[in-house]
Amino acid sequence: MQIQKVSLEKVIPLRHKILRKGRPLETCYFVDDNLEGTFHLAAIQKDKIIGIATFIPKELKDFSGKHMQLRGMAVDESAQQKGVGKQIMHYAFELLSTEGFDLLWCNARETAANFYRKLAFKQLGESFDIPSVGIHFKMCKQLK
């Protein structure tokens, strides 16, 4: 398996399949997908994208330093529970640290919160609901 930066269009099919199943394709596009500094990672195995994540330069209130927001992380059902997400995240931690980022944060789905906790993300505050997506927790990880 290889982790690499890919174009937005390469992550959309898996975003749709895993994160927006049954919803219109337009719901898979994020406002900040094309923001300067945003990039998309994919885990590729045998020429197939099996995992994705998007990283958006966005500040988290009440924290200092240089921040990046994680959005749209997904792993194909056939590859879940096999360390794909963990490998994407470790690649991202190294890349972001090298580029001088201090903090990575996300709005983690309730079902994914333990995955992030195992990667040393800390929960900030109480859960909240994102309409038509579900319960989430704001979480962050110090990179330095």
Q: What is the pLDDT of residues 12-31, one digit of tens each?
A: 999 999 998 888 889 899 99
Give CA 103 to chain center in angstroms. Answer: 14
The reported pLDDT for the residue numbered 72 is: 94
Q: What is the pLDDT of residue 59?
A: 94
* Structural domain boundaries enclosing 92: 2-142
Number of domains in the chain: 1
Neighbour tally for 94: CB within 10 Å: 12
Which residues, 6+ apart, have CB-to-CB distance to 133 below 8 Å? 109
Residue 69 clears pLDDT 80, i.e. is over it: yes
CATH number at 121 reads 3.40.630.30
**Residue 85 or 132, more confident:** 85
